[in-house]
Amino acid sequence: MIPIARPLLGAEEEAAVLRVLSSGLLAQGPQVALFEQRFAQICQVRESVAVSSGTSALLLALLAHEIGPGDEVITTPFSFAATANVIRLVGATPVFVDIEAESYNLNPELVEAAITERTKAILPVHLYGNPCNMPRLQVIALAYGLALIEDACQAHAAAIDGQAVGSFGTGCFSFYPTKNMTTGEGGIVTTNDPTLAERVRLLRNHGQKERYQHVDIGYNLRMTELHAAIGVAQVEKLEQFTEQRIANATLLTQYLHDMVLTPVARPGYRHVYHQYTIRVPEHDQRAHWIEQLRARGIGTAVHYPCPIHLQPAYRDVPKSYCIGNRDETDEYGVPHLPVAEAAARQVLSLPVHPAVTRADVMTIVREVQALCR
Ligand SMILES: *Cc1c(COP(=O)(O)O)cnc(C)c1O
């Protein structure tokens, strides 16, 4: 079976974990500090704060930007639910803006229509590892005085004209096992703003400036030394992992682009292919494709089958908080976000991770070609 995701862990990670275990220092030690320093270098930022997950990173970024009840945050409906969940967990309201059909990312041309006097932040997602149009979003954020928080949980080492994602705004990354690099569970916040970094550090650790000096009400969302040690080993391999993902994606596109819609990156955009996501030409065929590919030893996944604004947990979010490119509603008055909804019916991710060999790629190509005939 060619799985849809597989973490690549080796002797380096194993040795690093054993070193931490024998040191006896399991929390808040040198590995976390070293990992933060290495990851900040990757993102070309001054500060980074390691936390317990990507969700923790997003939550702390929102809190550090002082986003809370009564505030609105503009985001995409086409992402993992955590992106919008954190907005609601701090008491704010997500405002869903439709996506671009080609990149699957938040459509910057629709963002201004969604801004109100309650808007506090824009939270775009670099979906599948493809950077959002950050230069455009930066201009809008600056013009309206909004925070820009990047959900870069799928986009380690992605860049626009050489500038790393996570450095355009406040960056939030995840190190869950399926991501482009892993620590088991883990996350990090990246920023060039030392004051913001300090606030995230406080909130991560019970608001303690010094031990038992609580200047704020915080959480325990720390990363352990064991996780950080794995991260230090993984970050060394990130560039090699990324190049392998790009090579696999390039090969897949070379053979599949005239049969199915393959991923598109704008010129100068470094897409790091967290997922290699195609559109199944006839959306009613997707279940058949998944079944056929599985029978031939190819794992696939749908990212994501239901846009967030249509999730049961989002029924109570006012439907006026959906901004699409057409003023259309269904028979119940629920506005459509037509681009995201069409994508949710058609997308299918194929294996692209660095454990996929050239022979695996050719197997995937052959089987997808067979389905197109
Ligand atoms: C994985 C992911 C998250 C959450 O990260 P965790 O580490 O699982 O908490 C958030 N947003 C996106 C887009 C993700 O892919």
Q: Inform me whether the pLDDT recorded for 316 exceeds 90.
A: no
Instruction: Look up residue 188 and give its two tokens.
Output: 């990090």
Regarding whether 300 and 178 lie in a shared domain, the answer is: no
2 in any annotated domain: no
Asked whether residue 136 falls in the same domain as residue 48, the answer is yes
CA 54 to centroid of ligand 1, rounded, Å: 5
Q: Which among 174, 178, 180 is the best mutation to test ligand 1's pocket, defined by most ligand atoms within 8 Å of the CB?
A: 174
Q: What pLDDT does 321 receive?
A: 78
Structural domain boundaries enclosing 296: 238-372
SS3 156: coil
Domain assignment present for 1: no
- Residue 86 CA to ligand 1 center (angstroms) comes to 11
For atom 14 of ligand 1, which residue has the closest CA?
153
- Do 196 and 340 belong together in one domain? no
Q: Let me know whether 147 and 254 are in one domain.
A: no
pLDDT digits (tens, 9 = 90+) for 64-88: 999 999 999 999 999 999 999 999 9
Ligand 1 center–CA 255 separation, angstroms: 30
Does 206 lie in the same domain as 248?
no
Q: What's residue 70's pLDDT?
A: 94
Distance between Cα 212 and ligand 1 center (Å): 32
Query: Tens digit of pLDDT for each residue in 97-132?
Result: 999 999 999 999 999 999 999 999 999 999 999 999
Same-domain pairing of 158 and 277: no
Q: Is 182 in the pocket of ligand 1 (CB under 6 A)?
A: no
* 153 vs 328 pLDDT, higher one: 153
If asked whether residues 51 and 154 sit together in one domain, one would say: yes
Task: List the CATH number of the domain containing 289.
Answer: 3.90.1150.10
Local confidence band at 246 (pLDDT 50, 70, 90 cut-offs): very high
Q: Give bridge partners of residue 301 from the DSSP assignment.
A: 349
User: Which among 205, 221, 276 is positioned nearest to 86, based on CA atoms?
Assistant: 221
pTM: predicted TM-score of the whole model, two decimal places: 0.97
List of E strands, the chain: 47-51, 72-75, 93-97, 119-123, 147-151, 159-160, 163-164, 170-174, 187-191, 208-210, 213-214, 269-270, 276-279, 322-323, 347-350
Kindly report the number of other CB atoms within 10 A of residue 353's CB atom: 24
Q: State whether 318 and 334 are in the same domain.
A: yes
Determine contact, residues 54/175, Cβ cutoff 8 Å: yes
For 11-27, write each residue's pLDDT tens digit: 999 999 999 999 999 99
CATH number at residue 177: 3.40.640.10
Residues 167 and 268 in one domain: no
Place of tokens 């060039």: 192
Same domain, 18 and 112: yes
- At 222, the pLDDT band (50, 70, 90 cuts) reads very high
Asked if the structure places residue 3 within a domain, the reply is no
Domain count, the chain: 2
- Residues 150, 284 within the same domain: no
159 and 47 in a single domain? The answer is yes
